[in-house]
Structure 1
Amino acid sequence: MPLTARQPNPPVALVFPGQGAQYPRMAAGLYGHDSTFTYWMDEAFRLLAPDGPRLRREWLAETPSAEYDDVTVAQPLLYAVNHALGRMVLDWGVRPAAIIGHSVGEVAAATLAGILGFEDGIRLMRDRVVHFADTPPGGMLAVAASPDDVADLLGEDVHLAAVNAARQLLLAGEREPLARAARELDERGVVCRPVQARQAFHSPAVDAAVRATLPGFRAVPLRRPAFPFYSAYTPGRLADQQALDPDFWAWQAARTVYFAPALTALLAAHDCLLLEAGPGDGLSRLARRQPRVIARHSFVQALVPGGGRDDREAVDEVRRRLTLVAAGDRHDRLGH
């Protein structure tokens, strides 16, 4: 039976965004309202001590400080919010047919899939903050182009950071080379805009920082994923050998994110409801460009889309549908 938009129990694939998805008070409307979300956010702030209270204030502020987009704030908050939202959905009784993430979102996905423990994940985030804060000032640039279109701009100073859709890339580099690339793209009439990031993630500019974090990753126990896991660094279904390799996880921060090919592989294997269970709807907008979604074999939903939408209202709407998913799964297991 083909999947339909109103099917009460479609398979669900969880999707988690990364750097650039952060916005003031992302999903904060659920804090103090949903017990699961609140518990895991409080746990994150406790484990992030002594920076926990400061990060909590930044997250809840209507107008956060200028540091909000820096690695020291954005990365631990994105990890915590992604994880807490994912836990909330899992506690509704939903067992994902698949899971996928983008950048730090893949680390949160790995935690939810049981590859990585939550306390270990927080410890790695703290370690990342220490070492990545000292990387050269840089950034990322979203570009409406294909890799071939920008090939002549890539080199020692500007790097392909992510392939997000057919004509949606991220470039990364230190500030001045990236600014030169932006000016060149503008002269060509290519649409580009800065991403909310102060470091040149997914480029060799952060190689030294990655090497400094390797001992931390190698000290963490890793396990096989509890359900199908699609990695933007393979790109495709994650093999057990990679799931258990600490260097694979550590080097993600410096390697190109191939989100579009990974999502294509997921959708080739699963007709599903893609649920962006992180802040905003950036990956949902990318997913809607996928051929399987355009052909209505799969569908897309953002859990907390932001943009002025009330967090509680948005989540309640999704929960009503996914409660039917869980009920349908239990019904099937009972053999009815």
Structure 2
Amino acid sequence: MTERTGPTGAPAVRRIALTFPGQGAQHPRMAAGLYGVSRTFTATMDLAFDTLPGGRSLRTAWLADRPPADYDDVARAQPLLYAVDCALGAMITEAGVRPDALLGHSVGELAAATLAGVLAFHDGLRYLSEYVEVYRHAPPGGMLAVAAGPGEVAAHLEPGVVIGALNAPRQLLLSAEETALTRAETALRRAGITCARVRARQPFHHPVMRDVAAAHADILTRPPLKPPHTTVHSACTGQELDDDTATDWAFWLAQPAEPVLYGPALHHLLNSGPHLLIEAGPGQSLTALARRTPQVARGDSAAVALLPARAGTPDADVAAVRAALNRIVALHGVFPAPVPDF
């Protein structure tokens, strides 16, 4: 690896940014190989299951080799993703990795805010449990990952289909109610545009979610929010999250209906200087996006995933984390190996 240097000729120090995936990244037994192995990870997940209504059932679904049919529904997917993202973030910081910035995709942004001290983990869990009850009322629908830019898909979209996320210059998510999304998928495939369904059963990041929230938001409590102690780059705004926005519940309540600007937020983060991006969540989707950026491709920044790209054997998660920690040491030298938590 070529060593990058700053303007004075000294090696450029990469700042550390943790990234957290959202809906669609979930899979059966995601990160479950760490449960009972990492003390920090295990304690965080146990707190989640003790706090969430129906936590015992959620734990059973998470650990099952064959998950229930509704595993990808908001009622299971988002609380589990939030808990796993937060548990991995707590684990990696306990290991000695101190992030300079945090960036999350969709519900991963709530995990980023939690790690930044905007809200307490138990408050985030309570909010997610109420949030699930609100969005149970959403119409059936979902999201479609498309390997194209907005201009390429525009001619194939009908009213009711919106761009729900901009993840990269030629990678976006469409969101719609089920019938419209199916028609859009058919039209895109006929046009030779690669697309695939995201594991979601509701049309998140679609304007219809505003109506759902307006009709049922009275059940949502608003726990106290604090200014972040660590910089959060918001995938909702595409910029750094300022204190006023971070502590405004109107921002968080609107998020499920707003498009995810993960690509612009990542671009903004990497343009602020060299970073070591560490994906603290299931899969490697955010790491793959990072590796396509010019900043990572030319070696100024780097990207590491804590977990395997897909579910594997029970030992695969532990092996992947250990390999990632060794890679982090090689790239940044932030702590001595082995990490005591394992």
User: TM-score, with normalisation over the residues of structure 2?
Assistant: 0.90
C-alpha spacing 1:24/1:113, structure 2 compared with 1 (3 Å): same
Which residue does the alignment assign to 1:80? 83
Which residue does the alignment assign to 2:29? 25
Native 8 Å contact 1:98 1:228 kept in 2: yes
Take 1:73 and 1:113, find their aligned partners in 2: how far apart are those partners? 24
1:321 offset after TM fit, Å?
4.6
1:155 offset after TM fit, Å?
5.5
What amino acid is the match of 1:294?
Answer: A
Q: Deviations over 1:40-79 (max 9, x none)?
A: 0000000003x10110011000110111110011010000
User: Across the two proteins, how many residue pairs are aligned to each other?
Assistant: 325
Which residue does the alignment assign to 1:326? 334
Take 2:84 and 2:216, find their aligned partners in 1: how far apart are those partners? 22
1:205 offset after TM fit, Å?
2.2
Take 2:156 and 2:100, find their aligned partners in 1: how far apart are those partners? 39
Map 1:29-44 → 2, pairs under 5 A: 29-44=33-48
Q: Deviations over 1:135-184 (max 9, x none)?
A: 11001000111111122344641111000011001001111100000111
Alignment of 1:145 with 2:148, yes or no, is: yes
Map 1:87-236 → 2, pairs under 5 A: 87-154=90-157, 156-212=159-215, 214-215=217-218, 219-236=222-239
Alignment of 1:252 with 2:260, yes or no, is: no
Native 8 Å contact 2:164 2:204 kept in 1: yes
1:11 offset after TM fit, Å?
2.4
User: TM-score, with normalisation over the residues of structure 1?
Assistant: 0.91
Which residue does the alignment assign to 2:18? 14
C-alpha spacing 1:216/1:89, structure 2 compared with 1 (3 Å): farther
Take 2:114 and 2:219, find their aligned partners in 1: how far apart are those partners? 16
Which structure has greater helix proportion?
A: 1
Native 8 Å contact 2:284 2:305 kept in 1: yes
What amino acid is the match of 1:62?
Answer: D
C-alpha spacing 1:153/1:206, structure 2 compared with 1 (3 Å): farther
C-alpha spacing 1:215/1:292, structure 2 compared with 1 (3 Å): farther
Secondary structure at the residue paired with 1:234?
coil
What amino acid is the match of 1:248?
Answer: F
Take 1:203 and 1:98, find their aligned partners in 2: how far apart are those partners? 27
Native 8 Å contact 2:28 2:65 kept in 1: yes
What 5-or-longer segments of structure 2 have no aligned partner? Answer: 337-342
Take 1:237 and 1:154, find their aligned partners in 2: how far apart are those partners? 31
Take 2:177 and 2:26, find their aligned partners in 1: how far apart are those partners? 21
Native 8 Å contact 2:15 2:100 kept in 1: yes
Alignment of 1:2 with 2:4, yes or no, is: yes
Take 1:220 and 1:270, find their aligned partners in 2: how far apart are those partners? 34
